[in-house]
Amino acid sequence: MSRPSLFGRALRVHVLPLATVLLVALVLVPAAAGASLLEAGGGQLGSLSRARLSFRHVRGELNVLERHVATVTGALLPGRAGHLIELQRGAGRGWRTIARTFTGGRGRFRLRYTPGQLGEQRLRVLFPGDGRATATSRRVGLLSVFRLAGASWYGGGGSLACGGWLSGATLGVANKTLPCGTLVTLRYGARSIRVPVIDRGPYVAGRDFDLTEATKRALGFEGVGEVWSSR
């Protein structure tokens, strides 16, 4: 059996450690570079706070008359001044900005909006984010916009123009032009009710709706006067 030469032994001794060193270098250099990128990114992310929105509604359920101002107030927490706040309404599957303001002391804000049409609108408040805090949003609820409408009431029995029979328990309204079955939300004081058009009338000048006896009772309506109407 021949013994390995000194040259062969030296080759084995020096080449294998060199390969190991190269392998370690290939693994560690990218890792070090990645670590430096993570550290840089972490520094940027660490400068952003997690903002959240809190609200109180000035107008409770946000019921307003057309061409009157709806107001939303609240605070962006953590509270700082100078953050942009947007009020948005639902537009199809997206959102459209309808008012803007900036936070004041302790992150408080007040948004004012004058709706231009009757009906209901979905609202949310958006903080789009900036260099100090991440973006966040919060649903406010439904803004219901009404008009003033003259109203009276009627009772008794008999047939209805839209079909069926009138009784003391029938909920609905009579209107001269709205299609039968049209749903109308009425408010009177703090009460509201959503009822269909079931009959024709009233035919007295200045009156838009005749409320059935059951609708009158549900609203606490006094007899002849004005109600808030969504149509």
Half-sphere CA count of 39, side-chain side, radius 13 A: 6
Q: Tell me which residue has tokens 């057309």.
A: 66
Q: Give me the residue spans of the domains in the chain.
A: 1-47, 52-145, 155-229
Q: Kindly report the CATH class assigned to 52-145.
A: mainly beta
- pLDDT band at residue 146 under the 50/70/90 scheme: very high
155-229 CATH choice from 2.40.40.10, 3.40.50.970, 3.40.190.10, 3.40.50.300:
2.40.40.10
pLDDT value for 156: 86
Averaged pLDDT for residues 2-27? 41
**Is the pLDDT higher at 94 or at 53?**
94
- pLDDT band at residue 47 under the 50/70/90 scheme: low
pLDDT value for 92: 87
Mean pLDDT, the chain, as a whole number? 80
Per DSSP, the three-state class of 15 is: helix
Determine contact, residues 55/126, Cβ cutoff 8 Å: no
Give Cβ neighbours of residue 40 (< 8 Å, ≥ 6 apart).
none
- pLDDT band at residue 122 under the 50/70/90 scheme: very high
pTM: 0.66
pLDDT value for 39: 33
Determine contact, residues 89/96, Cβ cutoff 8 Å: yes
Residue 22 has pLDDT above 60, yes or no: no
Closest Cα partner for 114 from 147, 69, 159?
69
98-102, 138-142, 174-178, 196-200: least confident range: 138-142
Residue 137 carries which side chain, given as an amino acid letter? S
Residue 220 has pLDDT above 90, yes or no: yes
Residue 68 has pLDDT above 60, yes or no: yes
Phi, psi of 230 (to 5 degrees): -85, -5
**Is the pLDDT higher at 112 or at 131?**
112
What does DSSP say about strands 136-154 and 119-127: parallel, antiparallel, or unpaired? antiparallel
Cis, bond preceding 128 (omega within 30 deg of 0): no
Each as own residue / partner, the long-range contacts of residues 36-41 (CB below 8 Å, 24 or more positions apart, any chain) are none
Residue 60 has pLDDT above 80, yes or no: no
Determine contact, residues 146/230, Cβ cutoff 8 Å: yes
- Percent of the chain having pLDDT more than 90? 50
Averaged pLDDT for residues 71-78? 88
pLDDT value for 55: 65
Residue 38 has pLDDT above 60, yes or no: no
